[in-house]
Amino acid sequence: MMAVHEELQNVPPEKLVVEGVSKWFRTRRAAVHALDNVSLTIHEGEFVCLVGPSGCGKSTLLNIIAGLEIPDSGQVLADGKPVLGPGRERMMMFQESALFPWLDVMDNVLFGLKLKPNLKRKERREVAKYYLHLVGLEKFMAASIHELSGGMKQRVALARALAPNPRVLLMDEPFAALDALTREQLYGDIQRIWQERKKTIVFVTHNVREAACLGNRVVLFSPHPGRIQEKFQIDLPRPRDINSVDLAKYSSEIMSALKRHLNSELAEVAG
């Protein structure tokens, strides 16, 4: 019966499975429980937003999925195989663009491509151009990084992350440092690119509205120790506008859940 039900649902395959991941950071003075037994399944083609106050382990979880950090217990499966280190299948984008200042825009995008085997020089350049075009910056191919605005830098970083054609894009508050107008443009771009390129995206933010605007699913985290509190399904058509009324409904729902959890935690501490 169950099998039939699942067959008919036609759920896409599991892309990322986080299984009971815990992580401690031990410094000389204290030990921080960054993640406590976090489990999460992300399907192929999903756009999942991780949201929560700062310090609740969102970046840590993203780094573990990327393979940049190793969990103390539990594991992450990508396509069913345990993640043991970084891989081209999962590209990461950071809050600061992390672009390389000694390279021009083109060479930044080429950096990951050069590490990909079986590509000829000419093909690499073509691929890089395609992605620079996709983010609307092919005119700035020869520009230096310091000449770009914050929004342009994040676009180049996006092109660089997309260029090796990863199936999964991990984004750690990529728009947090940008002004509101630039951010709105990028919301549009990232949704368009996600649909066109059919990526699986895990997007970390502390901005609830941003999470509701971008995600098919919003996963709410709470701190001390980092845990998943609640998951929300956002059933809104795309492209979504961050200022729409429908969206406000979802974001206020998530916001009140966030406050409820924070209050109950405070009560716990007080009591």
Q: What is the binding site for ligand ADP (CB under 6 A)?
A: 25, 27, 32, 34, 54-60, 226
Cβ atoms of residues 145 and 111 within 8 Å: no
> Is 148 near another protein (CB under 8 A)?
no
- Which lies closer to another protein via its Cβ, residue 102 or residue 180? 102
Q: Using CB under 8 A, which residues numbered 157 to 176 contact another protein? A: 160, 164
User: What is the closest distance, in whole angstroms, from the C-beta atom of residue 219 to ligand ADP in the complex?
Assistant: 12
> Is 100 near another protein (CB under 8 A)?
yes
- Measure the CA–CA gap between 41 and 14, rounded to whole angstroms: 7
- Which lies closer to ligand ADP via its Cβ, residue 25 or residue 130? 25
Q: Using CB under 8 A, which residues numbered 76 to 95 contact another protein? A: 86-88, 90-92, 94
Cβ atoms of residues 37 and 55 within 8 Å: no
15 binds, among another protein, Mg ion, ligand ADP, none (CB under 5 to 8 A by kind): none
Between 198 and 237, how does the x/- string for binding to Mg ion read (CB under 5 A)? ----------------------------------------
Stretch that binds another protein, among 61-69, 175-183, 227-235, 252-260 (CB under 8 A): 61-69
Distance of CA 126 to the CA centre of its chain: 26
- Measure the CA–CA gap between 159 and 109, rounded to whole angstroms: 6
One residue of 98, 179, 231, 259 binding another protein per CB under 8 A:
98
Q: Using alpha carbons only, what angle is made at residue 34 by residues 28 and 40, rounded to the nearest 5 degrees?
A: 155
Q: Which residues bind Mg ion (CB under 5 A)?
A: 59
Per CB under 8 A, residues contacting another protein are: 66-68, 86-88, 90-92, 94, 96, 98, 100-104, 111-112, 115-116, 144-147, 160, 164
